Amino acid sequence: MTDSQFSQFSHSGNFRPATGAVWHAAWQSPSNIALVKYWGKNEGQLPINPSLSMTLSQAVTKTRLDAFVDGAVHGLVSVNGDPHHPFIPKMQRLLDLLAGDIPMLVKLAIMAETENTFPHSTGIASSASGISAFALCLLDLANQMVIPEISLRDWTRMVSCAARLGSGSACRSVYGGFTVWGRSLLVAGSSDEYAVDVNADVNPGMLSLRDAILIVSSEQKEVASTLGHRSMDRHPFRQGRVIQANSNLEEALRALAANDFNKLGDIAENEALSLHALLMSANPGVILLKPATLEIITRVRAKRKSGLPLFFTLDAGANVHLLYPHEAAFAVESFILEELAACCEGGRVIYDHCGTGPVRFPGRNENQAG
Ligand code: PMV
């Protein structure tokens, strides 16, 4: 990878750490839910259309890295003490992709401890939170070693760029509130290489939006999204999809600025159904919706007619995200308990809301110093 985003670290190959030197970095990073979906990519994990997401608060990954220099060992040595942990290939892949631009990372042996606050096997992909937490820790280590002259804004963009290489949607998790990834004339500073936050143009009322995640199926969705992105390469509706996403982004940004929840909800539903329509009309077609997903959607739409402000969105899976304003929480959550929880696997619902973004924890050295 030759990405100018990392130029601050490109001379770090000259960095000669002493054997036995140790660094620590620890970050908590959230998941996010896309309101305008990223679906389809070009070479280099660059999106074919801009996407818009809301960062979550409760669904987070906490990761801590201990990095040391031991001439003989390089790379990710273990995750949670296990040298064969199933997360290692994906994390090591990101480390390898970054090594060309941040050469000092190659000199490190890294042990990671990581945990998700959301339960395993709920079907909520952990890659956005997990990969963004890992990218934050890696760039934090790089910072500690080289101390670049860089603003927090540029550093965060660099982290977003790194996270994107590991998992596209992860690049949106490095900010709180609402985030856009992908170049759009509507968003100053936007880029295909990293996400930017658009909170300055969001009505504060939108920052308390709720998201209840209805677990219809706990099957993992990662394979579906990898195959799905690929299926867009030759999809007959590709061109139309790019036009649709750009137009939905424009309307969604307007709705966020105007605190127009109904408009935003309309777009979220249109995007969710379009995503699954694209999956179904790909070749081969993929059906990820389950009967319970459709049952929930039908009930949500019927309930909305009676005046309850709630809308749904979907990821590449069967689970349903319900979006509603914080003022309607009591009424919506009663409806979920009384009518929708029965459609969920084991009655499982995860209540989340718009969050404030990643949090850094003091490294071990800083703790000792304090
Ligand atoms: O980041 P990936 O490769 O898991 O793709 C995410 C795709 C969707 O979740 C379906 C949409 C999105 O923008 O998050």
% the chain with pLDDT above 90: 79
Q: Is residue 329 within 8 Å of residue 353, measured between CB atoms?
A: no
Query: At 225, is the pLDDT very low, low, confident or very high (cuts 50, 70, 90)?
Result: confident
Q: Which of 182, 171, 168 is nearest to 248 (CA)?
A: 182
The rounded distance, in Å, linking the Cα atoms of 107 and 78 is: 16
Q: Of 50-54, 147-151, 173-177, 337-341, which range is least confident?
A: 147-151
Residue 2 has what pLDDT?
A: 38
Neighbours of 69 (CB within 10 A): 18
Contact 275, 221 (CB under 8 A): no
Contact indicator for 208, 325 with CB cutoff of 8 Å: yes
- Rounded to the nearest whole angstrom, what is the distance from the C-alpha of residue 365 to the centroid of ligand 1? 36
Ligand 1 mean position, distance from CA 369 (Å): 41
Judge contact between 90 and 127, C-beta under 8 A: yes
Residue 57 · residue 167 · CB < 8 Å: no
**Rounded CA gap, 355 and 172, in Å?**
12
Q: Give me the chain's average pLDDT, please.
A: 92
Residue range 173-222, pLDDT digits in tens = 999 999 999 999 999 999 999 999 999 999 999 999 999 999 999 886 66
CA dist list (Å): 124 to 60, 70, 315: 11, 37, 9
Mean pLDDT computed over 10-36: 85
Please give the number of the atom of ligand 1 that sits closest to the Cα of 167.
1
Predicted confidence band of residue 365 (pLDDT cuts 50, 70, 90): low
Q: Whose CA is nearest to atom 6 of ligand 1?
A: 169
Q: Which run of H or E residues covers position 79?
A: strand 75-79
pLDDT at 94: 95
Please tell me whether residue 225 adopts helix, strand or coil conformation: helix
The CA–CA distances, whole Å, from 229 to 90, 121, 233, 238 equal 17, 23, 7, 11
* CA contacts within 13 A on the Cβ side of 359: 11
310/306 Cα distance (integer angstroms): 11
Two structure tokens written together for 294: 């459709």
Residue 370 has a pLDDT of 28
Nearest to 251 by CA among 171, 182, 186, 175: 186
pLDDT at 67: 95
Question: Per-residue pLDDT for 163 more than 60?
Answer: yes
**How remote is the CA of residue 335 from the centroid of ligand 1, in Å?**
28
**Helix H segments across 203-237?**
222-231
What's 205's DSSP letter? G
SS3 314: strand
Average pLDDT over residues 134-143: 95
The pLDDT tens digits for 244-301 are: 999 999 999 999 999 999 999 999 999 999 999 999 999 999 999 999 999 999 999 9
Domains within the chain, CATH numbers bracketed: 3-199 (3.30.230.10), 205-353 (3.30.70.890)
What pLDDT, on a 0 to 100 scale, did the predictor assign at position 369?
35
| Residues paired with 27 in a beta bridge | 63, 360
Pocket of ligand 1 (CB under 6 A): 34, 37-38, 51, 125, 127, 167-169, 225, 229, 275, 315-316
Q: In the predicted model, what is the mean pLDDT of residues 103-128?
A: 85
Distance from Cα 38 to the centre of ligand 1, integer Å: 6
Distance CA 64, CA 280 (A): 40
Q: Which residue, chain included where needed, has tokens 């081969």? A: 284
CA quadruple 206, 212, 213, 214: dihedral sign: negative
Q: Cα of 171 to ligand 1 centre, how many Å?
A: 11
Nearest-atom index, ligand 1, CA of 316: 10
Distance 165 CA to ligand 1 centre (A): 13
Query: Which has the higher per-residue pLDDT, 180 or 22?
Result: 180
Q: Which atom of ligand 1 is nearest to the CA of 226?
A: 3
From CA 27, how far away is CA 361, in angstroms rounded? Answer: 6
Closest atom of ligand 1 to CA, residue 128: 1
* Closest atom of ligand 1 to CA, residue 37: 13
pLDDT value, residue 4: 64
**Predicted local distance difference test score (pLDDT) of residue 50:** 98
191 CA distance to ligand 1 centroid (A)? 17
> 240 pLDDT exceeds 60?
yes
User: pTM here?
Assistant: 0.94
**Dihedral of the CA atoms 293, 295, 298, 302 (nearest 10)?**
-130
- Tell which wins on pLDDT, 66 or 20: 66
